[in-house]
Amino acid sequence: MVIEFLTGKPRKSGLGNRPTWPGRLILLAAVWISASLALFASEIDRKVLIRDVTQIQGVRDNQLVGYGLVVGLSRTGDTQQTFFTVQTLANTLLRMGVQIAPGVVVVKNVAAVFVTASLPAFARPGMKVDVTVSSVGDAKSIEGGVLLLTALRAPNGEVYAEAQGPLVIGGYSEGAAGNIKSVNHPTVGRIAEGGIVEREAAVDLSRFRIVSLLLLNSDFTAARDIADAINAEFGKTIAAALDSRRIDINVADSGVLSVPILISRVQNLSISFHSPAKVVVNERTGTIVMGGDVKLSPVSVIHGSLSIDIQTSHVVVQPPPFSNGKPETVEQTSMTVKDAPAQSIQLEEGANVDELIKGLHAIGATSHDIIAILQAIKAAGGLQADLEVI
């Protein structure tokens, strides 16, 4: 029975409940539309914005570092053996008009620290940034401490920010006499918005004659697609891919007077993203990450395990009765060999990652076994992807 789309009433075809030819055409059209929508959705999923895969050359963060003191600790600071902490405290007090001998300073409530921060692009004086504080001495914990005013310098030696404030840490260390319980890192803390920018490090975009986009991952195809998308957006050739990572845009030829507007317009364009076929293996943790586009050539994997256990024991042998002999210790060695039957899987042409993982799990392979198997498959030419071991 088929329901009329216009009237909404059921209609029989005259041959039982089989649909008529119009009904069949409607069903075929519905299936075709569903398939088209699914294909269109998959194409949309492969689209990425240019801003997500590139960065602007010359527009970046700047690293800052400083050296200071954390005070107010509960007898968990540096010990007297940390001489630079004593000297720093004495110098700090001297600048404040208090002159003392470094040998009489007790630093149990003080810890020497390095302070690091990231100065964002286009930072202006007065902006606040987060800072990270890390102990450099032998302090047990900097929990509850306060960072004294510390200058943060760039690699050129210039001061770009000042940091100060109470610390927040994500761990603790409690106990004494060898019975200590530690969670996370009590010698590293953070001050949210604890740094204030004192000098700007902004880039003057008005002087840009060429805007260079740098791909986060080197790819000739992506560089070409980005240049084509930009030229299609502006209706003329203003962008060119110089290599697999850099795309140059001519500001004058674009006709846009403002460089920020040009960058915003370009970054919001989308391109088709082609995921690289890559397998990343971490041998220390046994973690394996494989992209969905990884393909395998026809390959047969045989996996088996051979276990050899050798044990050595000492047995005391007593002398025969009524003899003058003495008990002797004899060393006995036993060996046990367990050879599990080899198990195999076969992969056909075009097999994907899911089929490989299911097959390896079916034969009981562990994560470390899978790493060795992947390396062997790559060596045999069966893995059509880059294999990176970290």
pLDDT tens across 94-144, in order?
A: 888 888 877 777 788 999 999 999 999 899 999 999 999 999 989 988 999
- Residue that wins the pLDDT comparison between 288 and 32: 288
Q: How high is the pLDDT of residue 186? A: 87
Residue 151 φ then ψ, to 5° = -80, 135
Q: Give which of 32, 3, 31 is closest to 17, Cα–Cα.
A: 3
- Residue that wins the pLDDT comparison between 59 and 106: 59
**Residue 21 scores a pLDDT above 80:** no
Q: How high is the pLDDT of residue 250? A: 95
* Helices 259-267 + 220-234 axis angle, to 10: 120
Counting residues of the chain whose pLDDT is more than 90, the rounded percentage is 36
Choose the weakest-confidence range: 10-24, 88-102, 232-246: 10-24
State the average pLDDT over residues 31-40: 45
Q: How high is the pLDDT of residue 390? A: 79
CA dihedral 264, 267, 268, 271 (to 10 degrees): 160
**Residue 326 scores a pLDDT above 80:** no
Inter-residue contact 114 to 134 (CB < 8 Å): yes
**Residue 209 scores a pLDDT above 90:** yes
- Residue that wins the pLDDT comparison between 27 and 362: 362
Alpha-carbon distance of 248 to 74, in angstroms, equals 57
- C-alpha distances (whole Å) from 123 to each of 32, 116, 260, 300 are 54, 16, 16, 57
pLDDT tens string 185-199: 789 999 999 999 999
CB-neighbour burial class of residue 363 (10 A; exposed 0-12, middle 13-18, buried 19+) = middle
Q: How high is the pLDDT of residue 7? A: 38
Q: Give which of 246, 271, 257, 269 is closest to 56, Cα–Cα.
A: 246
Both structure tokens of 272 = 């088709």
- How far does Cα 61 stand from its chain's mean position? 18
3-state secondary structure (DSSP) of residue 46: coil
pLDDT tens string 362-378: 777 777 777 787 888 78
Residue corresponding to tokens 């964002």: 120
Choose the weakest-confidence range: 8-22, 129-143, 176-190: 8-22
State the average pLDDT over residues 345-353: 67
CB-neighbour burial class of residue 187 (10 A; exposed 0-12, middle 13-18, buried 19+) = buried
**Which residues are CB-neighbours of 337 under 8 A, at least 6 positions away?**
306, 307, 308, 309
The pairing of strands 278-282 and 386-389 is parallel
- C-alpha distances (whole Å) from 154 to each of 80, 150, 205 are 31, 13, 22
Q: How high is the pLDDT of residue 359? A: 75
Reported confidence tier of residue 8, pLDDT bands at 50, 70, 90: very low
How many separate helices (H) and strands (E) can be counted in the chain?
8, 25
Inter-residue contact 114 to 132 (CB < 8 Å): no
Alpha-carbon distance of 94 to 72, in angstroms, equals 19
Alpha-carbon distance of 36 to 32, in angstroms, equals 6
The pairing of strands 54-56 and 306-317 is unpaired
Reported confidence tier of residue 81, pLDDT bands at 50, 70, 90: confident
> Mean pLDDT, the chain, as a whole number?
79
